[in-house]
Amino acid sequence: MSKKVFVPPIKCQGIKTKLVPWILENVEFNEQGRWIEPFMGSGVVGFNFRAKHAIFCDKNPHLVNFYNALKTGKNTTARARSFLEREGALLAKYGKDYYYEVRDRFNQHGDALDFLFLSRSCFNGVMRFNQKGLFNVPFGHKPQRFSKAYITKIINQIDYVIKAIQMYNWEFLCQDFRGTLADVNCKDFIYCDPPYAGRHVDYFSSWSDADERELHQLLMGSKAKFILSTWHGNEHRRNEPLDRYWRDCNILTREHFYHVGANEQNRKPMVEAIVLNYTPQTAYCVLRNT
């Protein structure tokens, strides 16, 4: 088994790349059912587990559209490479003016490759939408962003997903977590990475204390095993909903450092937590990237 963690083509703040080995070594899933993610986000955990049957869901239609365009063959590695080469050259020539032109185009038409372009040239790789559902992240100040090597790196990430989709039964659905968790059975495994309670979240929609409470009720009411990713605390704050709603579960913690923030000195370590409704019997690695 390879220990290398695959990084997906669409990133977002809070991506769990460095936490993937820790999360997956605590997964207990025999694959008789489905791997289910009600909050797909970057998809980095599920993409590295590589379940035979997986359902990736998210309220963000642009994420779902991006991966369904790969699944249907509408977007291929060749088409993505040609697009990034052309758009990257225009970005290098016209700078931020062209970035905002693409952003306006995306907000009007929602093209999947425009979404990829924006996610790789916006400020700090942040994924953020306003209340009208419009992508509103400013330019990342790197007009030479799309070098030949960088484009190849992105294409390799896309190729990984396309090959996995061809090999396994993966579905990508745009729906609320309530709809996703309504169709779960005891053979399934749920990996949940919801917006962090008590933190500023405008990735696509807001997250309230009531949402956290309902998520707890639905997960605890299901018959499936689950792991939920959340934050435990930092030097200034503690995740109060973690104590309020998840005390009836096993909670494991690990310190993690996020490289998000305009000022480097403001990028503080966070104690991450995973919440399990079972006690892991063994620690085993399931990074099956072959």
pTM: 0.89
3-state SS, residue 87: helix
Q: What is the pLDDT of residue 46?
A: 98
3-state SS, residue 102: helix
Q: What is the mean pLDDT of residues 137-166?
A: 97
Instruction: Name the residue among 110, 101, 112, 109 with its Cα closest to residue 139.
Output: 101
Give the DSSP H or E segment for 93.
Answer: helix 77-94
Torsion angle, CA of 203/206/209/212, rounded to 10 degrees?
Answer: -50
Determine the topology of domain 73-157 in CATH. Adenine-specific Methyltransferase; domain 2 (1.10.1020)
Using the predicted structure, report yes or no on whether residue 131 has a pLDDT greater than 60: yes
Give the DSSP H or E segment for 160.
Answer: helix 148-167
Domain(s) labelled CATH 3.40.50.150 in the chain stretch across 17-59+175-276
For residues 243 and 210, what is the distance between their CA atoms, to the nearest angstrom?
Answer: 15
Total residue length of the chain: 290
- Show Cβ contacts of residue 213 under 8 Å, excluding neighbours closer than 6 positions: 245
| pLDDT tens, residue by residue, 152-183 | 999 999 999 999 999 999 999 999 999 999 98
Kindly report the average pLDDT of the chain as a whole number.
89
Give the count of alpha carbons within 13 A of 234, CB side only. 13
Instruction: Name the residue among 215, 168, 204, 219 with its Cα closest to residue 56.
Output: 168
CATH class of the 17-59+175-276 domain in this structure: alpha beta
Q: What is the pLDDT of residue 284?
A: 41
289's tokens: 């990237």
- Show Cβ contacts of residue 160 under 8 Å, excluding neighbours closer than 6 positions: 6, 47
Judging by DSSP bridges, how do beta strands 269-276 and 250-257 pair with one another?
Answer: antiparallel
